[in-house]
Structure 1
């Protein structure tokens, strides 16, 4: 049987056995075992708490627990004891994703209890509450489950009813819960409560068409810069041009929430990240009145080298990002606290390339940020190769003729292969330089790259697993390119 005591003892006994080759310096990871969706992200009593889907016993998905990390600044994280284990009849096969909210000085966690059956149709997913008075230790309430199949509308399937997101409006709490409808496709259901224990069904907040993915997950709803934003993670959203190439995608929908009718009206839909490893994000409004988001930095259905190489762990979270809306589009930028950990600054100005290649050994970094400001006027193509050494590299390319920015990890190191019909090793996003100027901030950790384009207008997040030490940054141009500025900072976080 799974218990908190068993999980925490196992972690304590095995955490020193983890192989550290690809362990990140400034991204959240579990001390040992498997990690996926962020859960229960909250700012409470002066600390950020991030819970997550967790299976401590192997570096593959298993009966879900809630792991727990804490930080005072969103950068330097420390592991805390496991918060939830699947130890009750209503969550015996997994404490699935959910959120937390503060009420009367306590943290209330709402999560999905997963119950397997002998046949797929016997699976049940129910909603549960656990309460903490200190942010660390949780007690599951006697009323659990607080929502089950009897609380579903007629069109919803009890086998897929999960990932509650709780928000407060005045004296009323609302919960958005992902669901699959019987005719096929995803939907978001809305419930309300005055005490977080007794819930009442309100409406189908948003219903997808069959061609919009067969299951919606991990909903999030918030106000930002005068707009309402709904974020959903989607299983099986068909590829559309350069969009939705991964097996699972994240959609940001800017629109208007009608709270009287409990219906969300779409205005603008866009993919939230154009990389290869980004799923199940969760956001909070913190004490600084910022909307901060963190996401799982991995993708379903692909090999994870730290598992296949038996390193004893798998999965991590993105660098937390501050969200904003500009020109009716979502912008993402790293939280500014990361700059407190910048060291070893190097900068170069006015690098001119005309149909040539230049290498820079003194500006390379494995754990740090490389920022460039590039004048693309007169160029056909501009390449940046990072983490370079003897044939290994991660390539970032701006094609001026097509307006495409491309991230390519074909030669990044250990190959990542997934369920896609063809191995997906690169993705691209359409980018328009501002007055011919392209701005890039490229954040690297031991096994990841996060690219912020034009001050957060687009992002591309991917894992990479180099087998060689980074030795150089390479710039390559077709036509004329002027790099107005290129600067490097290492990032040093001492936990």
Structure 2
């Protein structure tokens, strides 16, 4: 698109409904969770249910966990409360897919049924070893967090090992707070296992810790891989380390980073560090740092490497300390995952593009080309606005009038975010995915992305309108529709 200023408005029709689901009892087991899901999943209100993004069948969902390509299929675990739409008594949900688009729900993998995880089976990762699937997770018992292992021989049922916790809080460096020590990501390098995990320091900053092991059961502390500063939040979460295009990449989620320009306006942010790791010394030399998504709902990113050599990321499409409309409306669910995204490096920064498999699941509706637009006005009162201003190169996403208000802990409220996207050959390229209650924008081949939830209420919110101030030329535009409901 070649223009002076352009505003693109996307509107979706939905009608609000309400329902009430029963809460669970005081004991938690995998069997009880699965029985509850089977008996109650049909009660979920469908109004805002996404059509081609991953969601749990019922209840609350947050961080993606254990994301792995294993035995010819993609496995996704996730933080899960099946009993109601709140982040309480977290289990591990589980699903698998052959193409990252069509998902099959599997039985709940783990429940908070041990003393060391009685307050939640918190986030973690997975690793194949000796034909078995190992998952490493954080056991939360209230005042202390520890790292634990569970093993599956059939990829469905998991047995927590007798040696748990395999990493105790007593192994922490002296500057770490044991109540905030979580989110292990396991990797294998040179026939040795490593895990990166995070802790809050006594100075209330974040840090990434590195442990090593020969067998995934006995671990020893190696080093502080990266130390955060007060300008990088009060705590880090969900670390992920991998090699990509000749560099080392560390992705993590930072709590309460101070606002800098257009960056870090959400209460929590996902940050991508690019550089090199000295594995002998156990430290990360940072070359570049960037916020990974400039929308309102993107957190807890985790990646995998598949059989095609692709580094694929998925994130929780929501944000902490916000209102959750589907929970407040008693729809019986809250939370979803982003579209899986392929990661690459461009100019030493991460870029994200949607998995190409999604294109196999939509049909082309219409196209436009060489269409000139001139000054116009908005036709709809309720609207979600995607705008671009050529004088500043700012691409913005505004949901202030999208429908059901979304409030949060941020001050001022975050109902619009923007990011600088320079024109390329005087053109802006946008790939936009709309679902019933979400929008994901990929600008200039994934150089920047913006992700947000929206909850329209008006029946008239069913059109897509293009409005400009000045003159714009649409070089090429295509509309496609997903033809098959996923997951």
TM-score bracket for this pair, using the shorter chain length? over 0.9
Matched, 1:403 2:389: no
Matched, 1:176 2:167: no
Alpha-carbon distance, 1:133 to partner: 1.1
- The residue number in structure 1 matching 2:345 is 325
Q: Is the 8 A contact 2:52 2:485 kept in 1?
A: no
Matched, 1:281 2:271: no
Once the two structures are superposed, the pairs formed by residues 45-194 of structure 1 within 5 Å of their partners are: 45-116=71-142, 123-194=143-214
Matched, 1:394 2:414: no
Determine the C-alpha separation between the residues in 1 that align with 2:110 and 2:462.
43
Determine the C-alpha separation between the residues in 1 that align with 2:471 and 2:42.
51
The SS at the match of 1:306 is helix
- The residue number in structure 2 matching 1:441 is 431
Alpha-carbon distance, 1:113 to partner: 0.2
Determine the C-alpha separation between the residues in 1 that align with 2:248 and 2:354.
22
Once the two structures are superposed, the pairs formed by residues 204-219 of structure 1 within 5 Å of their partners are: 204-219=224-239
Determine the C-alpha separation between the residues in 2 that align with 1:486 and 1:4.
48
Q: Is the 8 A contact 1:250 1:273 kept in 2?
A: yes
Determine the C-alpha separation between the residues in 2 that align with 1:124 and 1:356.
58
- The residue number in structure 2 matching 1:295 is 315
Determine the C-alpha separation between the residues in 2 that align with 1:354 and 1:4.
59
The SS at the match of 2:371 is strand
Determine the C-alpha separation between the residues in 2 that align with 1:432 and 1:390.
29
- The residue number in structure 1 matching 2:283 is 263
- The residue number in structure 2 matching 1:458 is 448
Alpha-carbon distance, 1:390 to partner: 4.2
- The residue number in structure 1 matching 2:68 is 42
Alpha-carbon distance, 1:89 to partner: 0.9
Determine the C-alpha separation between the residues in 2 that align with 1:184 and 1:9.
41
- The residue number in structure 2 matching 1:492 is 483
The SS at the match of 2:99 is coil
The SS at the match of 2:401 is coil
The SS at the match of 1:422 is coil
Determine the C-alpha separation between the residues in 2 that align with 1:316 and 1:438.
29
TM-score normalised by L of structure 2? 0.93
Determine the C-alpha separation between the residues in 2 that align with 1:280 and 1:260.
28
Alpha-carbon distance, 1:200 to partner: 0.7
Q: List per-residue Cα deviations over 1:29-86 (Å, max 9, x = no partner).
A: 1111100000000111121110000011110110110011111100111211100101
Q: CA RMSD in A?
A: 1.1
The SS at the match of 1:437 is coil
- The residue number in structure 1 matching 2:11 is none
- The residue number in structure 1 matching 2:360 is 340
- The residue number in structure 2 matching 1:368 is none
Determine the C-alpha separation between the residues in 2 that align with 1:32 and 1:480.
47
Determine the C-alpha separation between the residues in 2 that align with 1:460 and 1:344.
23
TM-score normalised by L of structure 1? 0.91
The SS at the match of 2:284 is strand
Determine the C-alpha separation between the residues in 2 that align with 1:466 and 1:354.
28
- Picking from 360, 366, 370, the partner of 1:350 is 370
Once the two structures are superposed, the pairs formed by residues 367-378 of structure 1 within 5 Å of their partners are: none
Alpha-carbon distance, 1:327 to partner: 1.3
Determine the C-alpha separation between the residues in 1 that align with 2:38 and 2:345.
43
Q: Is the 8 A contact 2:196 2:210 kept in 1?
A: yes
Matched, 1:477 2:468: yes
Q: List per-residue Cα deviations over 1:369-396 (Å, max 9, x = no partner).
A: xxxxxxxxxxxxxxxx8xxx84221101
Determine the C-alpha separation between the residues in 2 that align with 1:276 and 1:19.
24
Q: List per-residue Cα deviations over 1:164-210 (Å, max 9, x = no partner).
A: 00000021000001111112200000000010000010000000112
